[in-house]
A and B are shown apart, each in its own frame.
Chain A
Amino acid sequence: MESSYPAAERRDEVILRAEDLSVEYVVRRGVVRAVRGVSFELRRGEALALIGESGSGKTTLGLALVGLLPRTARVRQGHVIYRRQNGVYDVLSLSAGELRRFRWQECAMVFQSALNALNPVLRVADQFCDTARAHGNLDRAATYRRAQELLRLVQLDPDRVWRAFPHELSGGMRQRVLIALALLLDPQVIILDEPTTALDILTQRAVIDVLRQLRRQVDFSLIFISHDLSLAAELADRVATMYAGAIVEVSDVYEVFERPAHPYTRGLIRAVPTVTGDLRQLASIPGSPPDLVDILPGCKFAPRCPDADEACRTEEPQLVEVGPGHFAACHHWQKAGVSTL
């Protein structure tokens, strides 16, 4: 089992912290409360998975962390505290220019549709050089050397891809080019939104292995956003489950899969089959996620939860520590052992 990445001894150093962050979208029907009071910490060198189904607010949260929310969104409250050697600042209060520098140099995001994220009329070489130049890095030779090194790190043959246009590369190759590109300016944090979703199984495996290897060789922290529990099982050190715009559980990856404390996390784990594991009974979660415009009081999962009672319907539970480093937002987390699997 792997646990010893470099920087393990500095693991406790928090480099990014979201504090009570709320983001909403104004739509014709009203206000969509997409992210509701989210707080979490990202430690140096760790990989944190944000897991949730469509509409859980995970992508909005990712965009908020790098100040890339669309115009229709507004941050209602909260802070995103980022720490670098030269100081501590709130990402949400940066000026446009500072934000431009923050993105990519400090925190790079790789978007969901890797296939569309590269400029189709630019060769891979130009994508790298433009990025470097836009961030004031004018030494072409140095950029070239760094890019070649990164492309090799993501298991690409630099000679083959350097002069290529995006359409000449397969989906997996493009995804790896993007990962290399994200690392170009040596950011401390990389956010990957659904990094393997559109890829075939063997290609997915290649991307996962590349990410795993990169984490041993390069010092950065990783946040990845996915609906795919198996990706979290593969890559994450810690897993945060999102439901209806809030983090409902966060814990070490082994702990969360073996002793899920929130009924939603438990439901998700029971709904996903394994291939080489034992054949077990799968169960679905009844009902569907709540409407985030007409928000009901109480626990947002209560209408779908087998253990819900009056308290759940009136008061929304906050994250409490249910075990060492294991937090869950459920009034009945003590019952977890009873109604599990």
Chain B
Amino acid sequence: MNDKPALIELRHVGRTFRIGNRRVKAVDDVSLVIREGEIVCLVGESGCGKTTTGKMVAGLLPPTSGEILFHGRDLSTLRGPDFRRYRLAVQIIHQDPYASLNPAHTVESIIGAPLLRHRLASRANLRDRICELLRIVDLTPPEDLLDKYPHQLSGGQRQRVSVARALTVNPSFIVADEAVSMVDVSIRVSLLNMLTRLKETMGMTFLFITHDLAVAKHFAWQGRIAVMYLGRLLEVAPTSRLITEPLHPYTQALLMAIPEADPRLTRSKPRVQLRSLDIPSLLALPGGCTFHPRCPHFEAGLCDVKAPPLVALGDGRYVACHLVTQGGGAA
């Protein structure tokens, strides 16, 4: 277990959006500690609040409740050089490399701009530094790419440029939001390996956001997975345990539902029969546990009445389910 100090800590973080005169709770009471050098994967289906959480951690969106601590200090209280240090230390890689790079700029100016802005390179050594960064993300020979515009690059190359841009300011923490989802499978692995190398050689800390549990498993085998559903964390556990001994009925359902790229394995998987196929709307969240309308282990009078808090089990695992924490039979 990692006993390094906490780099980022979320304490009861919530985020509400207003749509017209209605309020949508995209993230609700999320608490999570990410330690230095750790990989945490935030896994969930679309609309579960994982991107919103990532944006809040990266400082792109303030929480509407709770607090986020960076090295123990509340983000909302950071000012001047302290805030600047945080903004440089925490970088985000967005999902869509087609949208996140300015189409009118060359690779050289995309990566060069932050270096100059933050005085991390002088005009004289700018090119060298850019090439060095391109080499770190396996874009070789870097000289060939400097004058290219984003539209001249493949999806995988663009995503590497995004990573190189994030690395310009020497961050210690990277929020990767579905960073490999939009590239073809044959390229995906090399991107993942490149990110893994950043962790190993630079001691980078990662919050890796994905909907794909298989990718999460491979990227965060040494780390932890946090499962999110309708704005709440339902389970957090070391990756290998989460995969082999999922505790929350939702995690169990996900693991059994995922089609696997192995016909014998996938056709012999046990199935969970959910009570409903439909994800409730964030505008009309069910009371109690938000998974109760679909949960196969639903207990009337308990699950639909009281929302289960995320409880530490003492072995590094956390789960938000009445039936697990009260010794019931969900597992």
Contact = CB atoms under 8 A, between A and B. Distances in A.
A201 B266 contact: no
Interface string A210-241: 00000000000000000111110110000000
B261 A272 contact: yes
Contact of B274 (A202, A204, A277): A202
Contact of B45 (A200, A229, A283): A200
Contacts of A253: 263
Contacts of A288: 154, 156, 187
Contacts of A173: 278
Interface in A261-307: 267-269, 271-277, 279, 282-286, 288
B262 A233 contact: yes
B203 interface: no
A285 to B, nearest CB: 4
B123 interface: no
Contacts of B46: 200
Interface in B175-211: 184-190, 192-193, 211
A231 B259 contact: yes
A269 B261 contact: yes
Contacts of A257: 261-264
Q: Is the interface of B mostly helix, strand, loop or mixed?
A: helix
Contacts of A53: 184-186
Q: With a 10 A CB-CB cut-off, give which of B253, B266, B278 has the most chain A CB atoms.
A: B266
A2 B322 CA distance: 37
B273 to A, nearest CB: 10
B189 A271 contact: yes
A54 interface: yes
B255 A275 contact: yes
Contacts of A227: 184-185
A127 B259 CA distance: 31
A284 B193 CA distance: 9
Given A257-B262, A273-B218, A170 B278 contact: yes
Interface in A178-200: 196, 200
B190 A284 contact: yes
Nearest to B269: A276
Given A172-B277, A282-B218, A229 B243 contact: no
A1 interface: yes
A271 B188 CA distance: 8
Q: How large is the interface on B (under 10, 10 to 19, 20 to 34, 35 or more residues)?
A: 35 or more
A304 B189 CA distance: 15
Contacts of A229: 185, 261
Contacts of B265: 233, 274, 276-277
B257 A254 contact: no
A131 interface: no
Contact of B261 (A201, A267, A274, A283): A274
A234 B184 contact: no
Nearest to A52: B184
B34 to A, nearest CB: 23
A155 interface: yes
Given A170-B279, A200-B46, A234-B259, A285 B264 contact: no
A203 interface: yes
Contacts of A201: 45, 211, 213, 254, 257-258
A209 to B, nearest CB: 8
B184 A1 contact: no
A128 B261 CA distance: 35
Contacts of B192: 282
Given A234-B259, A271-B186, A285-B186, A202 B254 contact: yes
B189 A283 contact: yes
A2 B268 CA distance: 10
A254 B185 contact: no
A227 B186 CA distance: 11
Given A200-B211, A201-B45, A271-B188, A233 B277 contact: no
B260 interface: yes
B118 interface: no
B217 interface: yes
A204 B214 CA distance: 15
Interface in B264-301: 264-269, 271, 274, 277-279, 294
B149 interface: no
Contacts of B266: 230, 233-234
B221 interface: yes
A274 B260 contact: yes
B215 interface: yes
Contacts of A230: 258-262, 266
B259 A204 contact: yes
Contacts of B274: 202
A295 B139 CA distance: 24
A259 interface: no
A276 B255 contact: yes
A200 B279 contact: yes
Contacts of B279: 170, 200, 202-203
Nearest to B215: A273
A62 B73 CA distance: 56
19 contacts: A1-B268, A200-B211, A201-B45, A229-B185, A230-B261, A233-B260, A234-B263, A234-B267, A257-B261, A257-B262, A269-B261, A271-B185, A272-B261, A273-B261, A274-B265, A275-B213, A275-B243, A276-B243, A285-B187
- Interchain residue pairs A-B with the least CB separation, the first 5: A205-B257, A284-B189, A284-B190, A230-B259, A200-B45
Given A173-B278, A201-B211, 4 more contacts: A205-B258, A234-B263, A271-B185, A282-B218
